[in-house]
Homo-oligomer: A and B are copies of this chain.
Amino acid sequence: MTTETSTESTPLRPETIPNTLTTQLQAVLDGRWAQTRDVVRRQIDEQTLVPQHGLSLADYRERVLDQMKQMVPLGFPAAGFRPEHGGTGDVGAAVTAIETLGYGDLSLMVKAGVQWGLFGGAIENLGTASHHEKYVRGLIDLDLLGCFAMTETGHGSNVQQLETTATYDPTTGEFEIHSPTFHARKDYIGGAAEHARYAAVFAQLITGGPGEEPTGRGVHCFVVPIRDENGDDLPGVTTSDCGYKGGLPGVDNGRIVFDRVRIPRADLLNRYADVAADGTYSSPIESDNRRFFTMLGTLIRGRVTVGASAGAAGRYGLAIAVNYALGRRQFEAPGGEDELLLLDYRTHQRRLLPLVARAYAFAVAQNEVTAELHDLQTADPETVDPKDIRLLETKAAAIKAGHTALAQTAISQAREACGGAGYMADNLLPLLRGDIDVFTTFEGDNLVLTQLVAKEQLTAYAEDVQGLDAVGWVRFVANMATSYALEKTAARQVVQTLLDDSDEDPENSALTHPGTQLRLLRDREDHLTRTAAARMRRAKDDDADPLEVFTETQDHLVKVGQAHIERIVLESFVEVIGRVADRPTRTVLKQVRNLFVYSLLEDDLGWFLMHRHVSVERGKAIRRGVNDLCRDLRPHAQDLVDAFGVPAASLNIPMLGHH
Contact = CB atoms under 8 A, between A and B. Distances in A.
B447 A423 contact: no
Contact of A246 (B239, B330, B425): B425
B610 A243 contact: no
Given A1-B233, A1-B239, A433-B437, A423 B245 contact: yes
Contact of A469 (B53, B57, B332): B332
Contacts of A619: 606, 609-610
A330 B157 contact: yes
A555 B626 CA distance: 11
A627 B182 contact: no
Contacts of A606: 602, 604-606, 608-609, 619
Nearest to A6: B182
A627 B238 contact: no
A99 B233 CA distance: 47
Interface string A318-351: 0000000000001111110000000011110011
A442 interface: yes
Contacts of A605: 605-607, 609-610
B441 A333 contact: no
A381 interface: no
A620 B351 CA distance: 29
Nearest to A618: B610
Q: Could you say how many copies of this chain the assembly holds?
A: 2
A276 interface: no
B551 A420 contact: no
Nearest to A471: B334
Interface in A223-248: 233, 238-247
A120 to B, nearest CB: 22
Given A335-B161, A552-B346, A627-B555, A420 B434 contact: no
Size category, A interface = 35 or more
A275 to B, nearest CB: 26
A445 to B, nearest CB: 6
A325 to B, nearest CB: 13
Nearest to A246: B430
B434 A416 contact: no
Given A187-B420, A555-B627, A333 B547 contact: yes
A227 to B, nearest CB: 11
Contacts of A609: 605-606, 609-610, 616, 619
Nearest to A183: B7
A627 B442 contact: no
B161 A4 contact: no
B551 A346 contact: yes
Contacts of A550: 332
B238 A1 contact: yes
Contacts of A346: 551-552, 554-555
A54 B469 CA distance: 41
Contacts of A574: none
A115 interface: no
Contacts of A151: 420
Interface string A1-12: 111100110100
Contact of A419 (B445, B558, B607): B445
Nearest to A429: B246
A185 interface: yes
Given A347-B555, A420-B187, A425 B244 contact: yes
B554 A470 contact: no
A75 B433 CA distance: 38
Contact of A420 (B188, B345, B424, B469): B188
Contact of A616 (B330, B422, B610): B610
Contact of A433 (B238, B246, B552): B246
A173 interface: no
A164 interface: no
B434 A246 contact: yes
B425 A438 contact: no
Contact of A247 (B161, B419, B430, B620): B430
A54 B425 contact: no
5 contacts: A245-B424, A245-B425, A347-B555, A419-B441, A420-B441
Interface of A: 1-4, 7-8, 10, 53-54, 57, 151, 155-158, 161, 181-182, 185, 187-188, 233, 238-247, 257, 330-335, 344-347, 350-351, 412, 415-416, 419-420, 422-426, 429-430, 433-434, 437-438, 440-442, 445, 447, 451, 469-471, 547, 550-552, 554-555, 558, 602, 604-610, 612, 616, 619-620, 627
Given A156-B330, A245-B424, A334-B471, 11 more contacts: A1-B239, A2-B238, A4-B240, A244-B426, A247-B430, A347-B555, A423-B438, A433-B437, A434-B434, A555-B627, A610-B619
Q: Name the 4 nearest CB pairs between A and B, nearest first.
A: A605-B606, A246-B430, A7-B182, A244-B425
